[in-house]
Chain A
Amino acid sequence: VQLVESGGGLVLPGVPLRLSCAASGFTFRFYWMAWLRQAPGKGPEWVANIKQDGSETFYGASMKGRFIISRDNAKSSIYLQVNSLRDEDTAIYYCARAQLAGGYFDYWGLGTQVTVSS
């Protein structure tokens, strides 16, 4: 299993950003997928989950409204659109495979750094 995130970088406050995650090594369309993030010096924070066919999505309480998770099973990829970036969105953003039945994330990517600063 391999998960590779991309799309991070130094961005200005208020601009949108789209992160990508390419998956390989497993049958992607069979699994829920997730985004998590980790701000400097903090523990991980769950951002969002998306169902196998993309028909259901769930977001952390502080993520609703500005974050949109999506997937493309043909490309074995998930995406995270973040609108109106704020300083507090500065974090490493991780893609993970989710095992919702057991409430855990069994494979993670290396992450992509997002730094919001003017």
Chain B
Amino acid sequence: QSALTQPPSASGSPGQSVTVSCTGTRSDIGAYNFVSWYQFHPGTVPKLIIYEVTKRPSGVPDRFSGSKSGNTASLTVSGLQADDEADYYCSSFAGNNNFIFGPGTKVTV
């Protein structure tokens, strides 16, 4: 299974919104509502921020939201804060007990 596709970078000013796309195929993102997003800060534990396309784990601010249309999922971070500057990775279940990830998007605030 090929990896998912993400833009290498995205940026926004404090208080603005930024949207990160994640493109797959009809065999992964298009087939399942099992898209998740992870935030990686250097030197810290990776954090789940969105699961099952739109759901937020307890403790994740509602500034983070997820969506999906066809074979493309999106993560939107609104009201950007300095601490949102990180690498964001999307992931999708791809059938046959297989999980695939994107190459990551570096969000700069």
Interface residues of A (CB under 8 A from B): 42-46, 49, 58, 60-61, 94, 99, 102-110
Write out the residue numbers on chain B whose beta carbons fall within 8 Å of the beta carbon of A61: 1, 98
Bound CA span A60–B96, Å: 10
Give the total number of A-B pairs whose CB atoms are below 8 A apart: 63
Write out the residue numbers on chain B whose beta carbons fall within 8 Å of the beta carbon of A104: 34, 36, 48, 51-52, 91
Interface window among B11-19, B75-83, B100-108: B100-108
Please state if A46 and B34 are interface contacts (CB–CB under 8 Å).
no
Write out the residue numbers on chain B whose beta carbons fall within 8 Å of the beta carbon of A103: 32, 34, 36, 51-52, 91-93, 99
Interface size class of B (residues with CB under 8 A): 20 to 34
Write out the residue numbers on chain A whose beta carbons fall within 8 Å of the beta carbon of B91: 44, 103-105
Bound CA span A61–B99, Å: 10
Please state if B97 and A99 are interface contacts (CB–CB under 8 Å).
no
Write out the residue numbers on chain A whose beta carbons fall within 8 Å of the beta carbon of B34: 102-104
